Amino acid sequence: MTDCGSSIYNCNVMELSKIHNPSGNITIVQSDSDLPFRVKRVYYLYDVPGGSERGGHAHKALQQLIVAASGSFDVILDDGFMKKTVHLNRPNYGLMVVPGIWREIINFSSGAICLVLASERYDPSDYIRNYQEFIELKKQLNVS
């Protein structure tokens, strides 16, 4: 993992700029001024069936900003030692997730859209998809 010292406390909700207009609000996110990384990939989850979970993995190097563009959902963050749940339900707030954090996204409301801005292009080798492997890696990094 790129950052062996990563913990759930390195993951924070940040308020994004919101420009109010009577005909509709706009939120702008810019790589150079609003994020600690350059955006190399954008994706979004939608039409998630009730009771379904997404995520269920960690990244070795990737950083992400997760936003509830519509509706709401919970993000469970796990650093191998502690867990916390963050509820996202406003499109002008985003959750920064650092490398080395296991994440699960649950409790999608009807019509929810989970927008993700990522620091890297898709790379299957950056994923840790097995939770036991993740825990063992975190333990090894904590000992050394």
Active site residues: 57
Between CA 80 and CA 141 the distance in angstroms is 11
Two tokens, residue 68: 């509830």
Answer whether 73's CB lies under 8 Å from 112's CB. yes
What DSSP letter does each residue of 75-97 carry, written as one string?
EEEE-SS-EEEEEE--TTEEEEE
Between CA 45 and CA 112 the distance in angstroms is 8
